[in-house]
Amino acid sequence: VTSAQRKSFGSDNHAGAHPAVLTALTAANIGDATAYGDDPLTEGVTARLCAEFGAAAAFFVFGGTAANVLGLGLMLRPFEAVICAESAHLNGDECGAAERVLGSKLLTVPAPGGKLTPALIASQLAGRGNSHRAQPRAVEIAQATEVGTVYTLDELRAISEFCRASELLLYVDGARLANAAAYLDCTLADLAAHADVLSFGGTKNGAMGAEAVIVMNEPLAAAMPFQRMQLMQLASKMRFLAAQFGALLDGGLWLANARHSNAMAARLADGVAGVPGFRLAHPVEANAVFGVLRRDQVRALQQDWNFHVWAEEAAEESVTRWMTAFDTTPADVDAFAAAIRATAPLPRQPVF
């Protein structure tokens, strides 16, 4: 196996599309369909999504950044702000999209394990009522989080109760919501019950560029048709986005894919447990392993394997991210784990 053929552990975005998604696209390709979502396939899949989530409305968009911007856009007036974890994808990895497009300030909080808590949210409320300060109105959390951890249902409940009591709306970045539901063994509706608006990621789950914004009540959803068009996320050939979600919903494929990718991450963590030089930076709950390794181990692995160096820790260590996908096989994991184990011996020091 050459390194070009090796499975990438760089991102779940490195995986291709699931064959069932491609089959559904081919099926949706037959004949004409009215554009911009006014077609039976889009209407049918939208209704199925609403039923899964217990939601008032669902809207397809092309990408996760757009879903976040559009979802938060339903909640905010121009002087209102979003409380989020400092480590949030929204804050660190979306090129300031929310700040530019919505013009809203992000009030960021260092959040251990990538998770906000009521106390951390409360720490950002001091400026309320002060006209010199952006006014906190929305809270953004990611489920699963940026570091592969998952909020428990109790943690979600505590946050949502705090938000409701504090006149804050809760937005959930669900780029990996499927992985969170698989980990918690709960329904999408169980997760959605705590949110006002969520995204539901298709792309990382086997689609090829389709996400959904799920809106839990009618008044919040009212602006979305206009906002989605104005912000350039209204697909003319919408049936092809709907078809991808249709395939993921059929027979619970979204859940099977998420369970599988989570299981592959757990297998990888098990396969390297106890290896000298290695420790986990975060618990493995979804489909990512955040492993700390010595720099010489990282350099050796990088010769043959694709993964992400997340952060340079203390002088001699790096935090790496190894991500699995719906199509990662046990053999892929075992080969990568063996390569990691092989880096354990300290490199020989030159003898003078």
Q: Which CB, 203 or 227, lies closer to ligand PLP?
A: 203
- Can residue 149 be called a binding residue for ligand PLP (CB under 6 A)? no
Beta-carbon contacts of residue 93 (< 8 Å; ≥ 6 apart): none
Q: Which CB, 33 or 319, lies closer to ligand PLP?
A: 319
- The minimum distance between CB 155 and ligand PLP, in angstroms, equals 17
Q: Which CB, 142 or 337, lies closer to ligand PLP?
A: 142
Applying CB under 6 A, among 9, 18, 64, 192 the residue interacting with ligand PLP is 64
Q: Which CB, 114 or 271, lies closer to ligand PLP?
A: 114
Q: Which CB, 68 or 149, lies closer to ligand PLP?
A: 68
Applying CB under 6 A, among 139, 142, 198, 266 the residue interacting with ligand PLP is 142
- Can residue 321 be called a binding residue for ligand PLP (CB under 6 A)? no
Q: Which amino acid is at 187?
A: T
- The minimum distance between CB 167 and ligand PLP, in angstroms, equals 25
- Can residue 33 be called a binding residue for ligand PLP (CB under 6 A)? no
Q: Which CB, 136 or 174, lies closer to ligand PLP?
A: 174
Binding segment for ligand PLP (CB under 6 A), chosen from 60-68, 156-164, 249-257, 326-334, is: 60-68
Cα distance between residue 168 and residue 120, in whole Å: 14
**CB-CB contact of 9 with 306 (8 Å):** yes
Buried b (16+ CB within 10 A) or exposed e, 115-136: bbbbebbeebeeeeeeeeebbb
- The minimum distance between CB 142 and ligand PLP, in angstroms, equals 5
- Can residue 173 be called a binding residue for ligand PLP (CB under 6 A)? yes
**CB-CB contact of 101 with 44 (8 Å):** no
345's tokens:
């011996």
Q: Which CB, 101 or 125, lies closer to ligand PLP?
A: 101
Residue 340 CB: number of other CB atoms within 10 A?
A: 25
Applying CB under 6 A, among 28, 33, 41, 89 the residue interacting with ligand PLP is 89
Q: Which CB, 63 or 73, lies closer to ligand PLP?
A: 63
Cis, bond preceding 144 (omega within 30 deg of 0)? yes
Cα distance between residue 102 and residue 237, in whole Å: 26
CA distances in angstroms from 85 to 77, 100, 170, 194, listed in the order given: 21, 19, 13, 18
Binding segment for ligand PLP (CB under 6 A), chosen from 63-71, 74-82, 284-292, 342-350, is: 63-71
Listed in order, strand segments (DSSP E) in 80-224 are 80-85, 106-109, 135-142, 169-173, 197-201, 211-215
Q: What is the footprint of ligand PLP within residues 256-315 (CB under 6 A)?
A: none
Give the contact letters, 180-209, x = binds to ligand PLP (CB under 6 A), - = no. Answer: -----------------------x------
Element (H, E) at 60: strand 57-61
Binding segment for ligand PLP (CB under 6 A), chosen from 62-70, 127-135, 325-333, 336-344, is: 62-70
Q: Which residue's CB comes closest to ligand PLP?
A: 64
- The minimum distance between CB 93 and ligand PLP, in angstroms, equals 7
Q: Are strands 169-173 and 135-142 parallel, antiparallel or unpaired?
A: parallel
Burial class (CB in 10 A: 0-12, 13-18, 19+), 194: buried
- The half-sphere exposure of 29 on its side-chain side, counting CA atoms within 13 A, is 6
- The minimum distance between CB 149 and ligand PLP, in angstroms, equals 12
- The minimum distance between CB 146 and ligand PLP, in angstroms, equals 6
H helices present in 123-275, as ranges:
153-165, 177-184, 188-192, 218-221, 224-230, 239-249, 253-272
Residues at the interface with ligand PLP (CB under 6 A): 63-65, 68, 89, 142, 146, 173, 175, 203
